[in-house]
Amino acid sequence: MYKKQNFSLIKIFFIISLSFGTLSTLYAKSYQEKFNLAKSDYLHVILKNNKQKEIEYLKKLIKYGNILGKDTKKYQLELNRLEKNSSVHKPIFKKFTYKKEYSISSVKQTKNSIIINFNKRIDKSYIDFKEYKANRYHYDTFYLKGNFKFAKETKLKFDTIDRTIVTQSGKNRLKISLMNKTNPKTIYIIQKSAIIIKILDEPKKRTAKAKISKNNVSKVEKNKFNDSNYFNPKQKVIVIDPGHGGKDAGAVGSKRKYEKRVVLNVGRYLRNELRKDGYTVFLTRTKDKFIRLSNRTKFANKKNATLFISIHANSIGGERAKKIHGLETFFLSPARSKRAKRVAAKENKGDMDSMNWSSKNSFLTILNQKKITESNKLAIDVQKNMLHTLRKVYGKNNISDGGVREAPFWVLVGAQMPSILIEVGYISHPIEGKRIYTKKYQQLIAKGIAKGINSYFKKN
């Protein structure tokens, strides 16, 4: 009888142990899922430049990582850095209860940016930009469609700008003006529900004027490239990718004018401009030849390229073709707007690999953040300089700024270096479509891109 009872107790103990083992496995699996979800969310908020959310998800990664026995040192270091500098990124107004009449939820300042957050999806129509000079001051003024409760209380101050004014100039119009004695360099980026205004000027520094005599000129020249403001173009390899080619004509304009021919011409002119500056330059195609999207970045990787520049021309159908025109520069990340998704779908359809949409979207969540950041910087410099170069000849009102945008262009996915995709204008527009096919326009836009690349290297 005793043996029988003892056996029953052992059996019960075994079942309980097995149950605890199963439960611990389930808990481990649950924490692993939470860790993976936190990691995915963390990468997404990095793309959105949301520092408060980054802190939130880093804490979750550390918490679940410690439970799972993972090495969380890198997350802890990044959290310490963000919390130390969090005062820079905090909103400069008091929190308030959201009311429907206020469509702008916050205006935040970082070191060189103004972030305007909306409580709904937005598009290009939500911002209008004016540039003018009055009373010895240059003005960059941004008119934003929306109401902000704390416009009067908001004070913005930048090292490179003499004065920044925020006012609610109408019931549905927020005005942000940057005043400066020298012309401020600004650009804006439209996201899903936010607009970021970036100030590109370097901080003003007082430096003693150095006297250079005949005896030390050669010494100065010799040490020139050791200075952070200089770079050696001979050490840089740039791969230019004229889009489409061969059986893939790309967009088609009036009188059967093909995108593939325009972008090849721009690519050749850009190669000439960059070689004059001393860069080593390669084209993915030098003639009307079809090349798979994946092979374009493989070529750049084999050449150990410093930058990858893909050149395209845009188009749109229907009645909108008469209205929409302008330049756009894209860098790789999940699409933020319907417009970005539309352009990406058009450029991606020429040649798709075996990856399905879900796989590609998952891939985008683990992109190298440094590459994304550098691509964003490159896109800003190129967009700014293209606009400046073209507007000097054609006038500001005739060259529209489509902005710097994020989109999932698969031609950029395989690149192991900072990479951008440039839309040099709309073939479908009755005026811009004709202009794009002229040698003058193609050479000017090539010069603008080259200036943007030089600007990027000097800053980075």
In a domain, 94, yes or no: no
Tokens of 87: 């005062």
Tell me, what DSSP letter sits at residue 111?
A: S
pLDDT for 201? 66
* C-alpha distances in Å from residue 119, one per residue of 28, 44, 46, 190: 37, 18, 19, 14
pLDDT on residue 88: 40
Dig out the tokens for 265 from the structure.
């011409």
The CA distance from 53 to 216, in Å, is 53
CA torsion 179-181-182-188 (nearest 10°) is 0
State the Cα–Cα distance between residues 120 and 131, nearest whole angstrom: 27
The reply to whether 141 and 81 lie within a common domain is: no
- Residue 134 and residue 173 in one domain: yes
Do 83 and 110 have their domain in common?
Answer: no
205 domain residue, yes or no: no
Q: Are residues 82 and 108 in the same domain?
A: no
Tell me, what CATH number does 146's domain have?
2.60.40
pLDDT at residue 362, as a whole number? 43
Give the phi and the psi of residue 459 in degrees, each rounded to 5.
-80, -30
* Shared-domain flag, residues 83 and 169: no
Q: What is the pTM of this model?
A: 0.52
Residue 207 lies in a domain: no
Residues 364 and 441 in one domain: yes
Domain count within the chain: 3
Determine how many CB atoms are found less than 10 A away from the CB of residue 374.
19
Same domain, 185 and 243: no
User: Around Cβ 234, how many Cβ atoms within 10 Å?
Assistant: 11
> Could you read off the pLDDT tens digit of each residue along the chain, which spans 460 residues?
544 455 555 555 555 554 545 545 555 667 787 887 777 677 666 655 677 888 888 888 888 888 888 888 888 888 887 777 654 444 444 333 334 567 999 999 988 899 999 998 898 889 988 888 888 888 999 999 999 988 888 899 998 899 999 999 888 899 999 999 988 888 888 888 999 998 876 555 444 444 434 444 444 344 444 444 456 888 899 999 999 999 999 988 887 889 999 999 999 999 999 999 999 999 999 999 999 888 898 899 899 999 999 999 999 988 889 999 999 999 876 545 455 455 555 555 544 444 444 444 444 444 556 678 889 999 999 999 999 999 999 999 999 999 998 877 766 777 888 999 999 999 999 999 999 999 999 999 999 999 999 999 988 8
Please give the sequence-ordered ranges of beta strands (E in DSSP) within 135-236, or none if there are none.
Answer: 137-145, 163-170, 173-180, 186-190, 194-199
Same domain for 304 and 361?
A: yes
Residues 6+ apart with CB under 8 A from 235: none
Burial 295-326 (b: 16+ CB within 10 A, else e): ebbbbbeebebbbbbbbbbbbbeeeebeebbb
Same domain, 184 and 229: no
Q: 444 and 310, same structural domain?
A: yes
Q: Judge whether 322 lies within some domain.
A: yes
Which of 89, 118, 133 is the endpoint of a domain? 89
Rounded Cα–Cα distance for residues 262 and 311 (Å): 9
The answer to whether the beta carbons of residues 420 and 380 sit under 8 Å apart is no
DSSP per-residue codes, 327-358: EEEEEESS--SHHHHHHHHHHHTTS--S--HH
**102's tokens:** 């206020």
Strand, coil or helix: 393: helix
Residue 407 counted as domain residue:
yes
Same domain, 192 and 329: no
CATH code of the domain covering residue 450: 3.40.630.40
Residue 165 forms part of a structural domain: yes
The neighbouring-strand residues paired with 108 are 115
> Per the domain annotation, does 294 fall within a domain?
yes
Distance of CA 340 to the CA centre of its chain: 12
* Pair 72, 116 in one domain: no
Query: Of 156, 172, 199, which closes a domain?
Result: 199
- Residue 111 included in any domain: yes
Answer with the one of 89, 119, 151 that is the final residue of a domain.
89
Per DSSP, what are the bridge partners of residue 332?
Answer: 407
Strands 419-426 and 307-314: parallel
Which residue range(s) make up the domain with 26?
2-89
